[in-house]
Structure 1
Amino acid sequence: MPRFFTSRIDGSHGLVTGEDARHIALSLRMKTGEEVTLCNNGVDYQCVLEEITPENVTCRVLRTEPCQAEADVRLHLFQAMPKGEKAEIIVQKAVELGVYDITFVLTSRCISRPDEKSFAKKLKRYAKISLEAAKQSGRGIVPQVYGLITLSQAVQKLSECDSAVWCYEKGGVPMAQLGLKSDSEIGLLIGSEGGFSEEEAARISAAGVQPVGLGRRILRCETAPLAATAIIMNLTGNM
């Protein structure tokens, strides 16, 4: 069943506009009486189409239920800014795997250091990728993408989570030993291509963020967040 996100929905009717309305009317060529799923804030609304134009699609709500694809853990990914298209890959796959949001962080070893104007353009692209990945994977929310923030700001946000871990190429404890819990807030910090400096590593650990390892092999910066996310989802019963 086609799936669309909209904030313009209540207990009886929903409205789809813009690109999604055009997609329903012109690409899918759907007819009144056909059903779609509208999503808002983790709730799925099963709806029947009542009025269709390329500008606006009006739907009548048949029933609602919590989105079954949403994890019961809120995983906040803090990713040191990678170069090239790696950030797009991370956003797409992390959303598919269930992260709650993604924040890009500027560390001392980041090769990519976009200015404010350049990163604003990137954020628009990342938001679109997140939306499409959320649709494809049946998510009930569209994870937000934030940044750029400093490492100090990231560490502060990590300290506010119920559990916080960071992947360190020099090793750490296996995540299976941490007792990560479902229905909690978990922060995950990943480095860029060059990892973290010794000074940064000391600061992160001093703030109480637990260093963890991902096995005997050193993973690329675009592989590590996906492997770590999958492990956390599995350990908390969300895979």
Structure 2
Amino acid sequence: MRIPRIYHPERITPGTEVALDSDAANHVGRVLRMGPGQAIQLFDGSNQVFDAEITQADKKNVRVKIVSGEVDNRESPIHIHLGQVMSRGDKMEFTIQKSIELGVSLITPLFSERCGVKLDAERLNKKIQQWQKIAIAACEQCGRNTIPEIRPAMSLEQWCAEEDSGLKLNLHPRASASINTLPLPVERVRLLIGPEGGLSADEIAMTARYQFTDILLGPRVLRTETTALTAITALQVRFGDLG
């Protein structure tokens, strides 16, 4: 069986013994049914991975001894900040999960004129917490040892107006430039992905005022979740560590 990778929210030191949090303990003790003497790996977001051995386990409590630790850098050389206008249902969860597998560094959920998601402050806060858990699970699965942050949601213009030294990109079906025509090198990208109905004309004009470059992915119209993953993949192939 593959050795499970578990995120631990507190800093880890080799030679110590730690108790897993309730979610991790439930997964190890109840779902995987692991017991004392079995090996797991932990990571704490510090870009390190730690070999550990279970010393105590039941369905609610799991303790492990930290055997050793080492730096294990799997981060992309390109920092991609994804600004994703929120999509309905599980599409947003899918986008978050897969974009983190592809190496995105930071995600900000956005509201726009045609955003189909309407949430009050309490429900939105719960969504952010849920999306952060999805980010953690994606890192556990794909081998990343740092956890990308899911930032609080904000308006599209607020996000576009933030200071950023990187390249700013907006996907547009009538753009003339493509990712392959962007000049090398690129180390930071702020990538805007619009809603299912697209950005309005006023919003597209607004992105231009904030020096966003319109780019085209191809001749076909893609769904919002497909657009995000296609653009991230193309950026990683050209500037990052895919391919």
Fold shared, TM-score > 0.5 on shorter chain: yes
Comparing 31-40 with 103-112, greater Cα deviation is found at 31-40
Which residue identity is paired with 2:117?
S
Superposed displacement of residue 83, structure 1: 2.3
- Equivalent positions of 1:43-62 (< 5 A) are 43-53=48-58, 54-62=60-68
Residue 188 (structure 2) aligns with:
185
For residues 114-158 of structure 1, the C-alpha deviation after alignment (integer angstroms, 9 at most, x for no partner) is 22222122223222222222212122123222232112211123x
Superposed displacement of residue 169, structure 1: 2.2
Comparing 38-47 with 11-20, greater Cα deviation is found at 11-20
SS at match of 2:206: helix
Establish whether residue 195 from structure 1 lines up as the match of residue 201 from structure 2.
no
Establish whether residue 140 from structure 1 lines up as the match of residue 145 from structure 2.
yes
Residue 75 (structure 1) aligns with:
80
Gaps of 5+ in 2: none
Residue 2 (structure 1) aligns with:
4
* Contact map agreement 2:50 2:70 (CA 8 A) in 1: yes
- Equivalent positions of 1:29-178 (< 5 A) are 29-41=33-45, 42-53=47-58, 54-68=60-74, 70-157=75-162, 159-178=163-182
Report the Cα distance in structure 1 between the residues aligned to 2:95 and 2:26, rounded to whole angstroms. 29
Superposed displacement of residue 14, structure 1: 5.4
* Contact map agreement 1:50 1:60 (CA 8 A) in 2: no
For residues 49-100 of structure 1, the C-alpha deviation after alignment (integer angstroms, 9 at most, x for no partner) is 33445324122232312233x2222211001122232212211211221111
SS at match of 1:131: helix
Task: Output the TM-score relative to the length of structure 1.
Answer: 0.89
* Contact map agreement 2:82 2:108 (CA 8 A) in 1: yes
Cα RMSD, aligned residues only: 2.0
Report the Cα distance in structure 2 between the residues aligned to 1:85 and 1:23, rounded to whole angstroms. 22
Superposed displacement of residue 10, structure 1: 1.8
Task: Output the TM-score relative to the length of structure 2.
Answer: 0.87
Which residue identity is paired with 2:22?
G
Residue 20 (structure 1) aligns with:
24
Report the Cα distance in structure 1 between the residues aligned to 2:152 and 2:227, rounded to whole angstroms. 19
The percent identity for this pair of structures is 27
SS at match of 1:215: coil
Which residue identity is paired with 2:214?
P
Gaps of 5+ in 1: none
* Contact map agreement 1:17 1:57 (CA 8 A) in 2: no
Structure 1 pair 46–17 and aligned structure 2 pair: CA distance change class (3 A): same
Structure 1 pair 14–227 and aligned structure 2 pair: CA distance change class (3 A): farther
* Contact map agreement 2:50 2:66 (CA 8 A) in 1: no
Superposed displacement of residue 106, structure 1: 0.9
Residue 223 (structure 1) aligns with:
226
Superposed displacement of residue 5, structure 1: 0.7
SS at match of 2:88: coil
Superposed displacement of residue 13, structure 1: 2.8
SS at match of 1:50: strand
